[in-house]
Chain A
Amino acid sequence: MALFDVSGYKPYSELRRQIFPAGATHLANRPNHYSFGTKTQEFAVPLGVDPAGFLKSCNHDGGVCIDLNHGTTTLAFKFRHGVIVAVDSRASAGSYIDSKDANKVIEINSYLLGTMSGSAADCQYWERLLAKECRLYRLRNNHRISVAAASKLLCNMMLGYRGMGLSMGSMICGWDKQGPGLYYVDNNATRLSGRMFSTGCGNSYAYGVVDSGYKEDMTVEEAYELGRRGIAHATHRDAYSGGVVNMYHMREDGWIKVCQEDVSELIHRYRKGMF
């Protein structure tokens, strides 16, 4: 994908434009598109279709009950020795558990990670697109993209399709020249920099645990334990989270995958001798 663009290979749409010059293929001028630096548009909405209006009729006031819940728990926090990213692995479709070992962290490159919550399709597609853009940036500018810029790219992608029904809550974590970086990006194009975030419907349970145990100068082992506990307790109480805890540690020289532990074993360990 990236080499394709860099080598200047003429894509099909450009060839088509040469063959049919009278066709209305200038999508970039349309008001509901945002061209964020790519040569080709990603999704073209056909004329006359108004996704935002259609979705408005599909919400609760219109009598329809289509709720896009972010059914997961992901958390990430910055501390002295980097960024800890911990996610669960349950993919649900309504009340059906689709997968117990879904991968909710996308490894954009060796120093950037993105978490996924919300619609799995949306997250996977847009974060892969982000990965492509980051690679292109590196090839064009000969230095790595910063975490702030990467999150801004994703935010602009979301802005282009705002109100059209995307569902994505993602955290972009990385280590760049400014040190460890953590940004939260939403399908509403909310972009927040912070020290600790948790997304998904299990986020409130994770917040309680991590708030309680967080110290800026934790040791690495303490931080691993905190991340594990946060996800484990959230999966214990939230029905839409479960499976295993996938934990990554973002360090100065890149990320490492710390562990992949089953939450039920963790809970049994933590709650031994409770009642």
Chain B
Amino acid sequence: MALQDLCNFQDVFQDSLTTERSSVAFGMKTDYMSNFCFRNSTTSFNFYIPVAGYLDESPIKFGQISAAQRSSAILSQDSFLASPSLPASLPVASSRPVPLPFPMSHGTTTLAFVFQGGAMAAADTRSSCSGLVACPASHKVLPIHSHLVGTTSGTSADCALWKRILARELRLYQLRHGQRLSTYGAAKLLSHMLHPFKGTELCVAATLCGWDGGEVDDGCHGRGGTENLSDQTATSQTTEVEKLADVTEEKVSLLKTRSSSSSQQHLSTKKTSVSGPRVVYVYSDGTRLQGTLFSVGSGSPYAYSILDQGVRWGLTVDEATSIAREAVYRATHRDAYSGNCVDIYHITSKGWTCRKREDLKEEYYREKERQRHEGRQRQDVTSSE
């Protein structure tokens, strides 16, 4: 997908459609956006819009389309151009939203904060669907690239899709400009991509946590210290060892090509960007908040109070991990829609690392055992006195 776009490979079907879309450009005319050549990247936005007649059916019959509709639906899927169901303007915002077949609840606990050792992101692993645990082992913290991780809350399908779209756009930016987009830039990009869907049933509440690398080797005034190119090539090998994602090889080779190409640019572009960990909260209604600590989801109030107690800049990595774990554990204890296991990701200047997934049921029993043991100890002490 990305390579196809980069090589300006024009699909035959896209020509007339893209010229219409470029004029709309999702309502943005900023210079920032024009660099992104949305014309070529609209392949992802050809969502299948159901024929209008389907929307009048009751939600209970979701998925069961009549024979007449089925044939017309197949037709519309094959040809993007000829289908009457695809409006020429913005894909979803102008058509009526498809009614949800059942009420979806947004139950989760995710959290993210920054400290001196980087950024920490943690989440539970329960996917619920109106009272049913649909998946006890889902991934709510999705890596986007080597130095950026996003926690997801809201509708899982929406979050997974938009994370992939964001990952693709960030990679394209990296290939075109020779450097990673900053966390705040990625958040702005995600927010602007979600903007056309404002007012629809789309629900994405993501916290992007990442490390912004310094681009200048003559002193970056950031908390994380300077990063120069030699470090980056060296760290590309170490990140290969540490990472658990499938796209490891691609990313490493990408880093190598980037470093070689940017070495020529390096002398000319003197960017004084501050490096360090960053956390941004993005919501599909347009909210975009920078901060140092966020927790999202139905279990977030329980996590917030524990994080408020313990999170400070000077934490060690172990302390930060234990606070994140404790916060998710307490939230899963009280909130019905959060539970099962906890995922913890730690993002440093060298990239992200993932702690082994831990079942919180064990933690609960361990705590009960500890309390019983302490109670017994105290009784022994008092009886012996």
Chain A residues at the B interface, C-beta cutoff of 8 Å: 204-209, 211-212, 215-217, 229-230, 233-234, 236-237, 270-271, 273-275
Contacts and interface: CB of A to CB of B under 8 A. Distances in A.
B73 interface: no
B334 A274 contact: no
Q: Which 4 A-B pairs have the closest CB atoms?
A: A204-B301, A208-B302, A208-B305, A205-B305
B313 A208 contact: no
A205 B309 contact: no
Mostly, the A contact residues are helix
Mostly, the B contact residues are helix
A274 B313 CA distance: 6
A230 B309 CA distance: 10
Interface in B323-370: 326-327, 330-331, 333-334
B312 interface: yes
B162 interface: no
B115 to A, nearest CB: 9
A211 B374 contact: no
B371 A275 contact: no
Contacts of B308: 233, 236-237, 270-271
Contacts, number: 64
B334 A275 contact: no
A237 B374 CA distance: 33
Given A215-B371, A216-B375, A217-B375, A209 B305 contact: yes
Contact of B304 (A212, A237, A270): A237
A271 B301 CA distance: 18
Interface residues of B, number: 23
Nearest to A236: B308
A207 B334 CA distance: 8
B378 A217 contact: yes
B5 to A, nearest CB: 41
Contacts of A275: 292, 312-313
A205 B312 contact: no
Contacts of A229: 309
B180 to A, nearest CB: 25
A195 B334 CA distance: 15
A208 B292 contact: no
Contact of A207 (B302, B326, B371, B374): B302
6 contacts: A204-B302, A207-B302, A208-B302, A237-B305, A273-B312, A275-B292
A209 B306 CA distance: 6
Contacts of A215: 371, 374
B314 interface: yes
A118 B5 CA distance: 58
A208 B304 contact: yes
A236 B306 CA distance: 12
B374 A208 contact: no
Nearest to A206: B305
Most chain B CB within 10 A, of A208, A215, A216, is at: A208
Contact of A216 (B302, B304, B306, B371): B371
Given A233-B309, A236-B308, A271-B308, A208 B375 contact: no
